[in-house]
């Protein structure tokens, strides 16, 4: 089964609005990462948040992590049409593992 599962599966908003995507996972982790995938392209890393961090910002992106609830959220503020993509969370499984497990993804559509 998936370590990370995103919610919602799909999200449609207008330019300028904020987009919030959530990720839940099952086991303890060392860090959680968010990636973006444009249609027909490979994944691109957006941000990494460690298990001892609660919030992290990068430009218009804000990521939160709640290890007690085993969940994370990605907020994109003032969205643009270029933000249209699928967004994935990825986690390790804790311990000394080098494997990333990717979630099912949220498809974001931003209308101009």
* Site of interaction with another protein (CB under 8 A): 2, 30-31, 33, 41-45, 48, 88, 90, 92, 96-105
Among residues 13 and 93, whose Cβ is nearest to another protein? 93
CB of 100 to another protein, least distance (A): 5
Among residues 69 and 99, whose Cβ is nearest to another protein? 99
CB of 16 to another protein, least distance (A): 29
**Sign of the C-alpha dihedral, residues 84, 18, 46, 6?**
negative
- As given in the structure block, the two tokens for residue 57 are 């910002």
CB of 30 to another protein, least distance (A): 5
Among residues 41 and 54, whose Cβ is nearest to another protein? 41
d(CA 85, CA 91): 20
Strand-strand pairing, 106-111 and 85-91: antiparallel
Q: Vertex 33, ends 89 and 64: CA angle to 5°?
A: 85
CB of 79 to another protein, least distance (A): 23
Among residues 30 and 77, whose Cβ is nearest to another protein? 30
In Å, how far are 8, 27, 37, 81, 98 from 3, measured between CA atoms?
Answer: 16, 7, 19, 30, 14
């Amino acid at each position: 089964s998936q370590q990370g599962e995103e919610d919602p599966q799909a999200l449609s908003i207008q330019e300028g609005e904020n987009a919030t995507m959530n990720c839940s996972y099952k086991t303890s982790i060392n860090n959680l990462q968010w990636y973006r995938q444009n249609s027909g392209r490979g994944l691109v890393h957006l941000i990494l948040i460690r298990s001892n961090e609660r919030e992290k910002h990068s430009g218009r992106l804000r990521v939160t992590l709640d290890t007690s609830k085993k969940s994370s959220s990605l907020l994109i503020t003032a969205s643009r049409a270029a933000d249209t993509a699928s967004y994935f969370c990825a986690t390790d499984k804790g311990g000394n593992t080098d494997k990333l497990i990717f979630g099912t993804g949220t498809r974001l559509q931003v209308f101009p």
